[in-house]
Chain A
Amino acid sequence: MKFDDKIPIYYQIKNYIYREIIVGKLAPGDKLPAVRQLAVDLTVNVNTVQRALSELISEKIIEPQRGKGNFVTEDKDTIEKLKKMLITEQLQDLYENLHKLNVSDEEIVNYLENYINERKQVQS
């Protein structure tokens, strides 16, 4: 994957793993690649991967098992919360950006509804 050099890389690795979990590429209970393998795959420093994993562990998104490696949590609530957090982030951006354009709350709902309908028609 390509990193944005202006954003801390450990943070981008965390987001990458969040997404892999939410879209199901990493399923609950799946084992993560070894730290060094992840570093090679992502072309980043081992210490940076380690930092990202440590934070994911303290967030209980992944669980280390002594001598076996790191595993995606099997706790459904944790994954559900993670998904909600990522969605909220996107909504927050959208909400703030539209407010900056002086779009009111009601208008946002209308625009969004219209937009979704238009997308549906394009696809069908």
Chain B
Amino acid sequence: MTNTIEIKNLNYRKNYRSILEDVNLNIGAGKTVGLLGENGAGKTTLMRLIAGVAKGASGSISIDGKDDVSLKKSFVSFSEQLNGFSSSMRIDKIIRFYEDVYPDFSTEKYNQMAGFLQIDEGLRLSALSKGMKEKLVIGLTLSRDTKVYLLDEPFGGIDSMSRKKIIQSIIKWKNDDAIILVSDHYVSEIASILDEVVIIKDRTIYTQKSAEEIRSKYAEGIEQYYESVYEGNDIDD
């Protein structure tokens, strides 16, 4: 198997507080995976560790068999990286920045996506609506040619039309063997595009299941299954 994420015995503490404990997770090539959990469950932290932005965890995270941090960074495109830009920056400047910093950034792919998502490059970051900002984040993140894409809550507080466009562009522009890990705490909106769900609870991976298995085995929707996990109902395995 190539293009996989393999996490072994991962433990992470911050300010003497345990954030993630004994995390073990394998994700196969080409999968679109929903990372689900309450606010504060550790979803963003896990993504930051996979991306190599957060450091100091024990255990190992390898991507495509490689554990080297600088190599890993080139394997991962992470939506959070847009947070570093000043709000007065114009979008075309941000695009130039991406072209300069990431050799794998495809301007052609970006332009296709920007056309589809109707992103106006002349605007400044501060002038963007929430939905438009998320579209830009998705466009920039997916325009890099990497093995892993991490999308941290891309649907927070945006209207249903923008959401639909974003979901369609994920389907449209995802490479066949790339992994997409998308975190969310509303499940129903992304349920139909997921291969698997990974639920984080009590600082660790509570379960990892195929989305179609949840439907066929429990006759439950992903949302329902997720809620039953958080409400502590027993689920027969």
Contact = CB atoms under 8 A, between A and B. Distances in A.
Same complex origin of A and B: yes
Contacts, number: 57
Given A6-B215, A43-B171, 12 more contacts: A3-B192, A5-B192, A5-B215, A9-B192, A36-B171, A40-B172, A43-B192, A44-B171, A44-B193, A45-B192, A47-B30, A48-B212
A43 to B, nearest CB: 6
Interface of A: 3-10, 36, 39-40, 42-48, 51
A42 B172 CA distance: 12
B219 interface: yes
A8 B212 contact: yes
7 shortest interchain CB distances as A-B pairs: A5-B221, A8-B215, A8-B212, A8-B216, A45-B193, A44-B192, A39-B171
Contact of B215 (A7, A46, A51): A7
Contacts of B195: 45, 47-48
Contacts of B223: 5
A47 B188 CA distance: 19
A42 B195 CA distance: 15
Nearest to B213: A8
Interface residues of B, number: 26
B168 A43 contact: yes
Interface SS, B side: helix
B167 A46 contact: no
Contacts of B192: 3, 5, 9, 42-45
Contacts of A39: 171
14 contacts: A6-B224, A7-B215, A7-B219, A8-B216, A9-B192, A9-B212, A40-B171, A42-B192, A43-B171, A44-B192, A44-B193, A45-B171, A47-B31, A48-B212
Interface of B: 30-32, 164, 167-168, 171-172, 174, 176, 188, 191-195, 211-212, 215-216, 219-224
B222 A5 contact: yes
Nearest to A49: B171
Nearest to B187: A5
Most chain B CB atoms below 10 A, which of A5, A8, A9 = A5
A42 B221 CA distance: 18
A78 B30 CA distance: 34
Contacts of B171: 36, 39-40, 43-46
B220 A43 contact: no
A78 B174 CA distance: 35
A41 to B, nearest CB: 9
A4 B32 CA distance: 19
Nearest to A38: B171
Nearest to B172: A40
B15 to A, nearest CB: 39
A6 B164 contact: no
Contacts of B167: 43
